[in-house]
């Protein structure tokens, strides 16, 4: 239960005089007062991007079962049928405002009422709008929604905007394209001396597709050299290599990978996958830094070696535990630039960057919204956001109930690149270069040849040229061609 101010993202100064118009965007600081006597309520903004930076419970902190969340959706939850009054003050930024209207949608329980009061937070505290949802709406939707409209200019004309710098080669981390890489394959006739991860008892050796180069060994330097050269030809700057602990198969392959990367002028960083205890993370990350961190091929940001942390480990430990982990690493002189798998603003109080590994479980419009919010929040925080793209996904070959996302002859990959570019990320991550078990690889295959390397080169070049196509709903139909720009559709239906 929160009874005082809880900072979700420490706001840095956004007033940046002298920034060229094309390298900055305007954001509008606002304050939202959310008052409810319902047992639950959510507020969403459509038509623009809302990012909450902090909230404070002003009244009702002792309400039974109180849970408050203030990210891109503002939420208050209590025990069922609790009609006590809760008042929450939220500080936020609104960006990407259109020329027309924006909509606030309030959903809530069937009891009580919810009032949203919007005002400027630029020192003048101008009242912009107040909306109240009472009782039950006429909609048959069980979420009980009621939508309120507001002209965007009522915000832009009343609130003093602040300039937020867009990522570029000169901002945090530069502009990188990195691909998730799996150094866990072994063959009997390779350096590993046995089948590893290629399962000889399953079709395609437990792979969704067949590698064009044949089933290879991740400890073979020439295999690694081929992969790095293929990646570089596709505009990829480095690999995020799956890492499972000191002395493991993946760690042994990581050493070879780093040596070849030094020769080829390529970047490598580990993807820390699993741990049972915070002390284990401290010991292993210290080992990574001391053993590999000085390599010219090891990716650094701000002089610190970069380590990515997978969701399995980021969510296993509390934020307080992570603070302790990074404090212990600092004492050992083994500080890292840590990038968490998870787009929650909470992570930005501890980690220096955020990403997500696999976005395919959500509709692409929802992913587009997440990316826009995460990118905006990271830049406000002075942190790094990496947007993930994926060509497709296939675990259905293992089981009829396995997760599947059709590649659609490259259209799926292109749609993810479009929403990634539009989110203005620091980096773009590719899931994956060679995760053959999940069918997300772009490494050449018998089924697709090198088409995904070619497409990657084109998509990465477009990003580096600064090409951004507005596509608010993330359906792959540009807003200027989309008859329904806020509702995901398809090219065949003009975006509807």
Q: What is the pLDDT of residues 325-370, one digit of tens each?
A: 999 999 999 999 999 999 988 899 999 999 999 999 999 999 999 9
Which residues touch 372 (CB under 8 Å, ≥6 apart)?
A: 49, 96, 422, 423
Q: Are strands 127-134 and 101-108 parallel, antiparallel or unpaired?
A: unpaired
CATH 3.20.20.80 given to domain 176-465: yes
Q: Which helix (H) or strand (E) holds 281?
A: helix 278-292
Which residues touch 470 (CB under 8 Å, ≥6 apart)?
A: 422, 478, 479, 480
The mean per-residue pLDDT over the stretch 245-269 comes to 98
pLDDT at 10 over 60: no
The reported pLDDT for the residue numbered 324 is 98
- CA distances for 100 relative to 46, 103, 479, 480, angstroms: 12, 10, 14, 14
Query: CA Rg, the chain, in Å?
Result: 24
Q: Which helix (H) or strand (E) holds 254?
A: helix 249-264
Helix residue ranges, H only, 94-245: 153-156, 221-233
C-alpha 198/C-alpha 243 separation (Å) is 18
pLDDT at 16 over 70: no
**Model confidence over 129-147: pLDDT tens digits?**
999 999 998 878 999 999 9
Which residues touch 330 (CB under 8 Å, ≥6 apart)?
A: none
The closest alpha carbon to 221, from 253, 185, 194, belongs to 253
- Write the DSSP assignment of 109-136 as a string of letters: -SSSEEEEEEEE-SSS--EEEEEEEES-
The reported pLDDT for the residue numbered 138 is 80
Work out the number of other CB atoms within 10 angstroms of the CB of residue 99. 8
Residue 414, both tokens: 């292109």
The closest alpha carbon to 75, from 49, 52, 58, belongs to 52
pLDDT at 475 over 80: no
The reported pLDDT for the residue numbered 482 is 73
pLDDT at 106 over 80: yes
- Write the DSSP assignment of 352-366 as a string of letters: SEEE-S--TTS-HHH
Strand partners, 40: 77
Helical packing angle, 221-233 and 451-464, nearest 10° = 50
Are 305 and 299 a contacting pair, CB within 8 Å?
yes
Q: Which residue ranges does the chain devote to CATH 3.20.20.80?
A: 176-465
Which residues touch 378 (CB under 8 Å, ≥6 apart)?
A: 348, 353, 354, 384, 385, 426
The mean per-residue pLDDT over the stretch 50-72 comes to 93
pLDDT band with cut points at 50, 70 and 90 for residue 12? very low
Distance of CA 404 to the CA centre of its chain: 20
Are 272 and 285 a contacting pair, CB within 8 Å?
yes
Are 304 and 336 a contacting pair, CB within 8 Å?
yes
Rounded to the nearest integer, the mean pLDDT of the chain is 91
Strand partners, 50: 94
C-alpha 367/C-alpha 360 separation (Å) is 8
| % the chain with pLDDT above 90 | 83
User: Is-above-0.85 flag for pTM?
Assistant: yes
- Tallying the residues shown for the chain, one arrives at 496
């Amino acid at each position: 239960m929160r009874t005082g101010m809880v900072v979700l993202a420490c706001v840095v100064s956004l007033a940046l005089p002298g920034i060229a118009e094309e390298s900055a965007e305007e954001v509008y600081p606002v304050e939202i007062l959310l008052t409810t006597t319902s047992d639950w309520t959510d507020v969403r903004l459509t038509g623009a991007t809302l990012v909450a930076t902090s909230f404070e419970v002003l009244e009702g902190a002792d309400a039974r079962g109180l849970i408050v969340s203030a990210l891109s959706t503002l939420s208050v939850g209590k025990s069922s049928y609790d009609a006590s009054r809760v008042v929450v003050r939220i500080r936020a930024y609104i960006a990407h405002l259109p020329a027309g209207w924006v909509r606030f949608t309030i959903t809530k329980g069937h009891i009580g009422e919810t009032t949203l009061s919007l005002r400027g937070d630029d020192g003048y505290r101008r009242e912009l709008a107040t909306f109240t949802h009472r009782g039950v709406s006429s909609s048959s939707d069980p979420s009980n929604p009621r939508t309120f409209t507001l002209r965007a200019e009522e915000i832009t004309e009343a609130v003093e905007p602040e300039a937020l710098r867009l990522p570029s080669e000169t901002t945090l981390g530069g502009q990188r394209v990195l691909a998730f890489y799996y150094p866990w394959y072994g063959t009997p006739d390779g350096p590993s001396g046995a089948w590893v991860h290629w399962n000889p008892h399953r079709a395609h050796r437990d792979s969704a597709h067949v590698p064009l180069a044949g089933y290879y060994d991740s400890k073979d330097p020439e295999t690694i050299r081929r992969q790095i050269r293929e990646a570089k030809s596709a505009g990829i700057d480095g690999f995020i290599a799956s890492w499972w602990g000191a002395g493991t198969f993946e760690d042994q392959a990581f050493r070879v990978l780093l040596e070849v990367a030094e020769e080829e002028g390529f970047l490598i960083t580990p993807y820390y996958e699993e741990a049972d205890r915070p002390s284990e993370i401290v010991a292993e990350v210290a080992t990574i830094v001391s053993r590999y961190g000085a390599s010219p091929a090891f990716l650094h940001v701000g002089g610190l070696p970069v380590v990515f942390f997978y969701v399995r480990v980021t969510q296993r430990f509390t934020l307080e535990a992570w603070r302790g982990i990074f404090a212990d690493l600092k004492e050992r002189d083994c500080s890292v630039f840590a990038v968490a798998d998870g787009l929650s603003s909470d992570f930005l109080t501890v980690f220096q960057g955020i990403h997500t590994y696999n976005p395919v479980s959500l509709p692409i419009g929802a992913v587009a919204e997440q990316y826009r919010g995460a990118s905006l929040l990271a830049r406000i925080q002075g942190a790094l956001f990496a947007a993930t793209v994926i060509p497709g996904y296939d675990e259905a070959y293992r089981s009829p109930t396995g997760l599947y996302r059709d590649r659609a002859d490259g259209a799926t990959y292109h749609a993810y690149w479009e929403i990634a570019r539009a989110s203005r990320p620091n980096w773009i991550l590719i899931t994956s270069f060679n995760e053959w078990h999940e069918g997300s690889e772009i490494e050449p295959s018998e089924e697709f040849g090198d088409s995904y390397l070619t497409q990657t080169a084109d998509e990465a070049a477009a990003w580096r040229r600064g090409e951004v196509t507005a596509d608010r709903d993330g359906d792959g139909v540009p807003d200027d061609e989309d008859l329904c720009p806020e509702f995901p559709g398809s090219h065949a239906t003009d975006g509807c």
